[in-house]
Amino acid sequence: MEEKTRSEIIDFLENRVQDCRVLVVGDIMLDRYFYGNVTRISPEAPVPVNLIDKKKNTLGGAANVAHNLAQLGCQTFLMGAIGDDHHGRLLTHKLEKRAIDSSGIVCGRDRTTTKIRILGGHQQMIRLDFEETEEIKDETQEELKQKITDRLASGIDAAILSDYGKGVCTKNLCQYVIRQAHAQHIPVFVDPKGTKWEKYQGADYVTPNVKEAGLVLGLTLSNDNEEVKKAAITICEHYDISNAMITRSEKGVSLYTDTGEIHVPTVAQEVYDVSGAGDTVISVFAAAIGAGLDPENAAQLANFAAGIEVSKLGTYAVSKDEILRGIKNKAE
């Protein structure tokens, strides 16, 4: 990282990030972990008995994007649909503890999307999913639209569509966010899912990984510079998206704009777990752009933060202080 880039990023983190206001709209999830030890087989069936001694609840999906923004120090507003249930109450409690504005969340689901992981020792034994994947009802969409309109009118610097394919990011709602945000000159960032990207048409930035970029084009994309570049150009042209930033695992990130391309190599380190890295990238990148950092420096910062995230076990929200320490240590 060059000295000028480092200086601008540090200035953003120390002096400007707290004034940045970011709206996140998408599929909100709760991740639950139950840790225990297996010492015997059940007498009822040939299955292990796991004696649970610890549990942990974390924010997932769009809520993890919001968590990353809050850890960065942004003013964060989360909107989506959950159920009126125990998991929904656990989730909203965690959002409140992290100073994430959850007033835009509506009860438009029969159940809150929840992933429960049971671990014996350090081994995951089973995952239990509670979710609905059909599109949210029209009345839920209208309720969210009104909340989105009100929030945008109050002032926002960037908007993120965090699509996990659980039914909140309908074409109707995505296009509404894009239109309303653009009417107020607010950039829209999309973390995409699936192959129906018409709903993201007109967005400012889309941030797929290599596999997702290939999937929407109906091909298996190799992590090659020219192939990735062609895919990014095709995606932007076909879906009228202004810019594409493709995350490329060990090759870092590549940002393609109408003025050229930027390649940011990965931060050298040991990788433990890549889950949640995409959430880190889009949250840090969107906040940096929203606060006025240029795209190249924003991509550098997002890639650096992702490098910290993948060095942790499980989904992890990287804090501003961790990023600052890492950047300053690299300079020494």
The catalytic position among 101, 163, 204, 279 is 279
Strand-strand pairing, 101-109 and 114-120: unpaired
Which residues have a Cβ under 8 Å from the Cβ of 297 and sit 6 or more positions away?
A: 5, 8, 9, 12, 288
C-beta of residue 229 within 8 angstroms of C-beta of residue 217: no
d(CA 105, CA 147): 9
Which of 96, 32, 66, 31 has its CA nearest to residue 317? 66
Contact 278, 310 (CB under 8 A): no
Residue 214 — left, alpha, or beta (φ > 0 → left; ψ -120 to 50 → alpha)? Answer: alpha
At 80, give phi and psi (nearest 5°).
175, -165
Catalytic residue status for 279: yes
List, by residue number, the catalytic residues: 279
